[in-house]
């Protein structure tokens, strides 16, 4: 990943469309990733990562551009639990209520339980790294690496050069990074904001 990051968090609003079947043009990629976001790396404690995930899922089951899509990390969400997240009038993260109940559980980084005291290198787009979509918990941490190309640039390069213009079938499959439970039942989220082709996260793997 960019700057040897260990994991990635991407707000769902960064992805504005699905990848169509058939030939892909530069215009198609820009329709999917239209914001020309720069990719940066910050070194974040596991606790901040957990707080970010909890904030990102706080609006479920309502769709949200802040929903956290991830790579090299997996987690479960129980939306039966009322969110304890506190935000201001603009939807910016402030903290948690006293009960500190968590919707997010079973968080694993590269297959291992997250260590809340460990410092992880996290790849982000600059928008949320600077507090966009309410992710204020990231703002106070320094950028340790900034890529020279935008997210769409990397994706175009990966498709055209690394994949030689052919996208493998495996990128259609859901890898089970995010599992959502409601009323004791597993829910397969099909909302466009939430389950996106894993293909979009080749961007992150490409930056290794």
What CATH number is given to the structural domain containing 19?
3.90.780.10
CB 72 within 8 A of CB 109: yes
State the Rg of the chain over Cα: 17
Q: What is the pLDDT along the chain (208 residues), one digit of tens a residue?
A: 555 789 999 999 988 888 777 888 899 989 988 999 999 999 999 999 999 999 999 999 888 999 999 989 999 999 999 999 999 999 999 999 987 789 999 999 999 999 999 999 999 999 999 999 999 999 999 999 998 889 898 888 888 888 888 888 777 777 778 998 876 665 544 333 343 444 444 444 444 4
Q: Residue 65, SS3?
A: coil
pLDDT of residue 184: 61
pLDDT of residue 185: 64
User: Residue 6: which region, alpha, beta or left (left: phi > 0; alpha: psi -120 to 50)?
Assistant: alpha
Q: Which domain holds residue 72?
A: 2-206
CB 207 within 8 A of CB 2: yes
Q: Which residues pair with 41 in a beta bridge?
A: 123, 145
Structural domains counted in the chain = 1
């Amino acid at each position: 990943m960019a700057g040897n990051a260990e994991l990635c968090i991407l707000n769902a609003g960064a992805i504005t469309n699905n990848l169509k079947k058939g030939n892909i043009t530069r215009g198609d990629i820009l329709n999917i990733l239209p914001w020309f976001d720069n990719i940066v790396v910050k070194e974040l404690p596991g606790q901040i990562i957990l707080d970010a995930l909890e904030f990102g899922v706080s609006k479920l089951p309502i769709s949200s551009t802040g929903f956290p899509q991830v790579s090299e990390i997996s987690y479960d969400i129980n939306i039966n639990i009322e969110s304890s997240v506190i935000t201001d009038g603009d939807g910016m993260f402030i903290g948690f209520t006293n009960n500190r109940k968590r919707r997010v559980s079973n968080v694993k980084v590269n297959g291992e339980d997250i260590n809340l005291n460990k410092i992880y290198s996290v790849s982000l787009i600059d928008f949320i790294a600077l507090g966009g979509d309410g992710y204020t918990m990231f703002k106070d941490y320094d950028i340790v690496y900034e890529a020279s190309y935008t997210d769409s640039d990397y994706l175009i390069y990966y498709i055209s050069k690394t994949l030689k213009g052919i996208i493998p079938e495996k990128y259609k499959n859901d890898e089970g990074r995010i599992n959502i439970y409601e009323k004791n039942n597993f829910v397969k989220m099909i909302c466009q904001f939430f389950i996106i082709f894993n293909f979009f996260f080749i961007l992150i793997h490409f930056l290794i």
